[in-house]
Structure 1
Amino acid sequence: MRKLLVGLLLVVVSERLQAQELLALIDNKEENKKAFVSNAFKSSRVINGHSIEFLGKGVLDVRILHRFGELNSGASNLFGLDEANMRLGFDYGLSNRLMVGVGRSTAGKELDGFLKFRPVWQSTGPGSFPFSIVLVTGVTIGTSPWSDTSHKYNFSHRMAFYNEVIIGRKFSERFSLQVAPIFIHRNLVALASEENDVYAIGIGGRFKLSKRIAFVADYHYIAKGLDKNIYKDPLSVGFDIETGGHVFQLHFSNATGMNEKAFITNTTGDWGKGEVRFGFNLSRVFTISKK
């Protein structure tokens, strides 16, 4: 009887050791598996500019963006809250690496659309890459009536185009940073002294403060193409607040426009003079098709 018990004990110990070895092998395989990094930003936009983040395949993002008036407009204008500009947008994920979007802004009555592609995705494990590379191309179309009715304009005069390359990295669970050189071409400019081509460099970052709140900022330096005595570099700072299926963002910005052509080439507000606007971005996602 004693030999039988000892034999059974040895069998149990042997089986347990083999199970532990098997689990260790599985864990090692999981550790050596390539994994893509997600949630560098909580939205496909930092504040104004595109982020390196994408929607999932079959996901629709309905975006409502508001910019109120300038804070220095005084108490009679309720520090800008008596007026507002708005953009309504619809972004859709065609795949985890490709998305499209359209929108319409009240400022300039502009329609806009873009295509966004991620050829390189930050990852860990074998064959990993330390950062993401995203390509964005877009078009805007102004629909406001021409102020000078004596001149003959073509439909192409209403159009502008932009292209950008975003290089970004999620450094930790708390901190993400990206940089984006941007080229904008306007078929028509307001003054003969202005250039049709504008070059800018965007910088965006996110720092997570708590489980549901993060500080975000984006800044676009105008390198060439605009008179810096008139136009200013757009700077926006704010907070992302996650509320279930919503991402609610509160921010301050000297930009009025809410597409790349608008906020890069039309910003005249000066932070130093209080020409800053309070605003919010509301993002709500819906799963349209099965993954």
Structure 2
Amino acid sequence: MKLKSLLLFATLFFSFVCASLKAQSLSDSLSMLLDEPTDKIEAVTGTFATTRLANGQSIENVEQGVLDFRVNHRFGLLTQGFKDFFGLDGANTRIGFDYGITNWLMIGIGRSSYFKEYDGFAKVKILRQKTGNAMPVSVSYLGAISVLGIDHPTLLSDSIPYRFINRLAYVNQLIIARKWNESVSLQIMPTHVHYNLVNYLGESNDVLAVGLGGRVKLSSRMALVVEYYYQFEGTKRFREGIPGTTTKNPLTIGLDIQTGGHVFQLLFSNSQAVSERNMIGQTTDDWGKGDIHFGFNISRVFTIVRPKEFSGSRNKIW
């Protein structure tokens, strides 16, 4: 049944993308007729608007010497109504900084109120898509580590020591993306999440998942984004407090809005977490039951180190 749901989502998603591609075909063909033919091979840019697709990472890096200040905010469940003022109570906020060490290496740190989590990551470009099908896709590797700052997990007996190493989790992810045209981009994200400590006997320390995401531009400054992670059976974590049940697959739908050096993302998701550790392996809310969180991401980039040969602004993202 869960596999059928995944196939249904994938079918609907790709049908939506194909419809968008068809709508663009006429204008693309006209552009090809008007443009002068060229054999020059260039790197493809602007696959996505920012370094985050929605909750997870996109194929993009910030450029060398550029600092990206990010605020990720997720409200509580909308279904709580006036009791929690439609999710205003119990919100989760992450504040982070990403920095481009080189044009192929980006690092980042952040702190989230969700389990008082601290996280850090490095994202490395391996391959870059080029025009003319010289290289059809872009490939990046993401390595991340996070540590929980909470005093003691509620499901762990007080008699069991909670050491620093128990607080750690690690993420390995391969990001494979392709920009099909100026309007449509897709990416797939095979992911491994390792937890040093789990809550139950028989629960796997390793979650294996595959993410699927895409962007369809609605205008020069707005785009629709979709992100979904499927966890493979046998690796899912148990749902906290409910023995015999497992966590849910996170689905996020949102809107990108770009204004100068800012990028706003308005999102609806069944995950309140924003890190791969908690978002992929610990989502307990269910879209089918109306368990939806509204949230937003705000990104502002600053040039810290300006190359000598560069005299213009580097704050353009699209």
TM superposition score normalised by structure 2: 0.80
| Alignment match, 1:160 | 169
| Alignment match, 2:179 | 170
The yes-or-no answer on 1:121 pairing with 2:137 is: no
| Alignment match, 2:70 | 63
Deviation, 1:154, is 2.2
The yes-or-no answer on 1:145 pairing with 2:154 is: no
Q: What is the CA–CA distance in structure 2 between the aligned matches of 1:182 and 1:258, rounded to whole Å? A: 15
SS at match of 2:85: helix
Q: What is the CA–CA distance in structure 1 between the aligned matches of 2:108 and 2:134, rounded to whole Å? A: 29
Q: What is the CA–CA distance in structure 2 between the aligned matches of 1:134 and 1:272, rounded to whole Å? A: 33
Aligned partner letter, 1:247: V
Alignment identity in percent?
A: 47
Select which of 155, 167, 189 maps to 1:180: 189
Gaps in structure 2 of 5+ consecutive residues: 1-34, 240-244, 308-318
Aligned partner letter, 1:41: F
TM superposition score normalised by structure 1: 0.87
| Alignment match, 2:18 | none
Deviates more, 1:141-150 or 1:116-125: 141-150
The yes-or-no answer on 1:131 pairing with 2:137 is: yes
| Alignment match, 1:250 | 266
Q: What is the CA–CA distance in structure 2 between the aligned matches of 1:52 and 1:176, rounded to whole Å? A: 10
Q: What is the CA–CA distance in structure 1 between the aligned matches of 2:90 and 2:122, rounded to whole Å? A: 31
Deviations along 1:156-206, one digit per CA (max 9) or x if unpaired, are 111000101111100000000000100111000111231101100001100
Aligned partner letter, 1:80: G
Deviations along 1:130-178, one digit per CA (max 9) or x if unpaired, are 1101111110101110144322232111100010111110000000000
SS at match of 1:256: coil
Deviation, 1:33, is 2.7
The yes-or-no answer on 1:289 pairing with 2:305 is: yes
| Alignment match, 1:190 | 199
Superposition pairs of residues 30-45 of structure 1, within 5 angstroms: 31-45=38-52
Q: What is the CA–CA distance in structure 2 between the aligned matches of 1:68 and 1:155, rounded to whole Å? A: 29
Select which of 278, 287, 290 maps to 1:271: 287
The yes-or-no answer on 1:106 pairing with 2:113 is: yes
Aligned partner letter, 2:167: R
Select which of 203, 206, 227 maps to 2:212: 203
Aligned partner letter, 1:185: H
Aligned partner letter, 2:86: F
Superposition pairs of residues 17-28 of structure 1, within 5 angstroms: none
Select which of 211, 215, 228 maps to 1:219: 228
Select which of 234, 239, 247 maps to 2:250: 234
Deviations along 1:256-284, one digit per CA (max 9) or x if unpaired, are 11110110111000111111100000000
SS at match of 1:289: coil
Query: How many matched pairs?
Result: 263
Deviates more, 1:275-284 or 1:116-125: 116-125
Aligned partner letter, 2:75: F
SS at match of 2:272: coil
| Alignment match, 1:19 | none
Q: What is the CA–CA distance in structure 1 between the aligned matches of 2:149 and 2:211, rounded to whole Å? A: 27
Deviation, 1:211, is 1.0
